[in-house]
Structure 1
């Protein structure tokens, strides 16, 4: 752990001191509602959070072009763009489910930005199928208005410094939240958060960029251990209201209680959030720019932590396509080009978004043992579904996952183009019409490494949020 010359016992105080020169953090909470046919927005409240802005004021504009939505904060008088960030939402995912065709629902959402000195317009943009953004909602915000919330209750739990490398303004701040941990399990949470954070930084490119991160932990104690899993009749009250069975998928874990999430998270420096649920059952989830989740006690917790963080942190798409999901298929026609950096519809091979990684002579689309893989996967998914239906021990599911990964590794090791970057059909939940860049990646299966394209996307996000460490001087120390 590194933090200038500060001792561990005073890390939080030192970080707060370093942040003192930063502007305050503004949060706009709003309601996003609608269905598959349309959507609308309504203002809830404007909050000045307890901690100053954790980000680099030299990188207030987002140039990565990711997310279904984008927030822009502009000077209301001059129209000058002050801040922007891409993001996605739970509403955006729910809108693609069958339920959205006959039901209207509302979801709480928030955008955060450094406090401006002038009244602003907060604009929410929406990406179309042509990947261009258009205005979806705009609201005038005066952060000095009388109805802005400036005073809030004290923190419900104390933030824990897990890995601190410098003042927040120059680092990526990751907050690991715990849900479903009782008062007697707080030490368990701290140990688990540290273990999973340590694992994250063994995976490239996080490994090479570890000094660009701060990691904090925070868990509000609950009366019962674990979070809700409604499909098994398990219901627990927890601080973040995280649960399994989101959108009817037994392994999908999210919280739809945005206010609870933001009211707890605001007491630690953060730009990204991963929620650890105190459960054994395999599951997790990740929404770009919102948060990710992972079942902390599962045998595959390391993989879940990194895979779901890939969605949240870098906007990476799922590259698998044989597992059942809640989203409806886009049909047999031409697919729109995804905004995610690691999948493509390959409308024009000459303009492949990751063409810089493709060696001359590589054929696009690129051959791989697709039929053999799919035949095996169909049988594997039948066994997986039966294990869940029969309520078999989680150890049997873990064994099935290990056997499946071993089979896949063996198949790919002898396949043509085993390590090539190209365009391999099958990705983004679709067997046809979408392509991934390499045969294997931890966004495709439970392997342990990102493909080159995903790794590049992660690095681009790190660059957006971190400031390089000063060059070490001869005879001195780099604190």
Structure 2
């Protein structure tokens, strides 16, 4: 028996309201925006989300170059009290190794470029909405979309034929264990035919290897779900517009670097429209963002997307997601761009960028990114706890260690970086400096990248036994076990300690604790588990409470007969 989309919609709504299972039925809608900023739905489906938190307002951190699109969920005509936000990257980043043939990691960059497709995704639980409304903005009026009508019209939307990705490889961490407590990275492929699925799996595996050999990704890989989703294309590769001086269209390339393109003039039909020479920059390899987001519906819990393109020519892009070609050096582009899109880092090189938005840690409303500053007073520099003892501040070029080196964020003077040259945000093929490495770990715990909204928890949510939210009725003289499951980084140690009424219990340093009390008093006890990541990647003075997580239980002590009566 088959059901109409509207009946399926209603059934899923009832399931969302009544079911106690972890997965949340949700709408998944891809929108494109026109020049006036008005949204057009181009793809609709219904999915199961791990916790339904992706679009909750406040779940996403403010990112430079990313617009937060506010909307309200409506149900039976009433607006929900909960505010929602989608996000849209307005710009593309074009940053490449100057000469990847000889391992020259010096970054050749271009100004931020407007994303020509301006797409975003709305993920909202069915139980919360049968309609959504985008607010008014500069030069545009509010827009309301009936999600029941979209469900009926899904097959007629412009990208309805987009193939939803199929799984290829499992997670780096343990997705089945608790996807709602992980950073979910989805790798999609473009330019792979149905016969090339195994090749895509190889390329995705090579990218995973390249990324997780970099610190701190390597040490925190257990915090990541890495999924590879295959999308079949009609032909292999990407478009290669041929060189033509003065070109302004999409069928030719004005960048003189296109003269040496071995595939110049080749155009192919691919699922995600991968093409070189976006915005007339030969190495700027992009895919159509709306098609990428539609294909990603096969893994709807994604927090970040990376697209690998089956093409040997060097190229890639950054933005709302990273794109890279199959060239052996292109993975470094994706890793550098992840430093922007996830860590929230600034470029540390000095190539001039006229008109780039200013920042200041001395005064003003826009503070600088974590790895750059215009503050030269040693006692006020935000990463001063990382300073190598004895280094002069500011620090002369050529000096080893962490200090304050002048030249960063597209300026040769007045802006500073933590190390001289060995940082991935200054040159490809190096490693992250201590400050950039620290920011990745802090971001994992701070959240703001989607779900979990409040960051990753060292105590796996839902693993607690008994549940901490209810008072535990305890029979005096019995043994009651309290337990949790912990999420452990691949390096360093976790500090685990149980407390009873605020006092540390000697020797209670495992994920479980057996509570026993023979006395009648105290009649109410408080049991607490505190877990701390003791990583050396984060300075204690810059950690705050991010690395400490806890659970607390209230225990009511009673005799057997009285406790049974309380339970009834």
Q: Distance in 2 between matches of 1:124 and 1:357?
A: 45
Q: Secondary structure at the match of 1:254?
A: coil
Residue number in structure 1 paired with 2:275: 243
Residue number in structure 2 paired with 1:382: none
Q: Distance in 1 between matches of 2:440 and 2:141?
A: 30
TM-score (norm 1): 0.67
Q: Distance in 1 between matches of 2:112 and 2:298?
A: 37
Q: 1:286 to 1:26 in 2, by over 3 A?
A: same
Task: Supply the RMSD in Å over aligned alpha carbons.
Answer: 3.9
Residue number in structure 2 paired with 1:456: 438
The Cα offsets for residues 402-454 of structure 1, whole Å up to 9 and x where unpaired, read as xxxxxxxxxxxxx32x22132x2333344344432222211211234211222
Q: 1:141 to 1:301 in 2, by over 3 A?
A: same
Q: 1:144 to 1:281 in 2, by over 3 A?
A: closer
Q: Distance in 2 between matches of 1:98 and 1:274?
A: 19
Q: Secondary structure at the match of 2:118?
A: strand
TM superposition shift of 1:309: 2.5
Task: Give runs of aligned pairs for residues 127-138 of structure 1, distance below 5 A.
Answer: none
Of residues 24, 30, 33, the one that matches 2:32 is: 30
Of residues 190, 201, 205, the one that matches 2:201 is: 190
Residue number in structure 1 paired with 2:68: 70
Number of aligned residues: 380
Residue number in structure 1 paired with 2:318: 286
TM superposition shift of 1:175: 1.0
Is 1:312 matched with 2:312?
no
Which is bigger in relative contact order (C-alpha 8 A, separation at least 6)? Answer: 1
TM-score (norm 2): 0.57
Unaligned runs of 5+ in 2: 1-18, 95-109, 242-257, 259-263, 361-365, 461-484, 487-509, 514-568
For the 8 Å contact 1:25–1:51, the answer to whether it is kept is yes
Unaligned runs of 5+ in 1: 1-16, 34-39, 126-134, 369-414
Residue number in structure 2 paired with 1:428: 409
For the 8 Å contact 1:20–1:52, the answer to whether it is kept is no
Of residues 265, 273, 280, the one that matches 1:233 is: 265
Residue number in structure 2 paired with 1:175: 186
Q: 1:215 to 1:87 in 2, by over 3 A?
A: same
The Cα offsets for residues 31-80 of structure 1, whole Å up to 9 and x where unpaired, read as 152xxxxxx30120286533223457399424643233223345677785
Q: Distance in 1 between matches of 2:162 and 2:265?
A: 34
Residue number in structure 2 paired with 1:89: 90
Task: Give runs of aligned pairs for residues 137-216 of structure 1, distance below 5 A.
Answer: 139-141=142-144, 144-147=147-150, 155-163=163-171, 165-166=174-175, 167-216=178-227
Larger relative strand fraction: 2
Return 429-438 or 182-191, whichever deviates more.
429-438
Q: Distance in 2 between matches of 1:249 and 1:53?
A: 38
Return 300-309 or 439-448, whichever deviates more.
300-309
For the 8 Å contact 2:164–2:297, the answer to whether it is kept is no
Residue number in structure 2 paired with 1:258: 289
Task: Give runs of aligned pairs for residues 29-68 of structure 1, distance below 5 A.
Answer: 29-33=31-35, 40-45=36-41, 48-54=44-50, 57=53, 60=56, 61-62=58-59, 64-68=61-65
Q: Distance in 2 between matches of 1:314 and 1:108?
A: 22
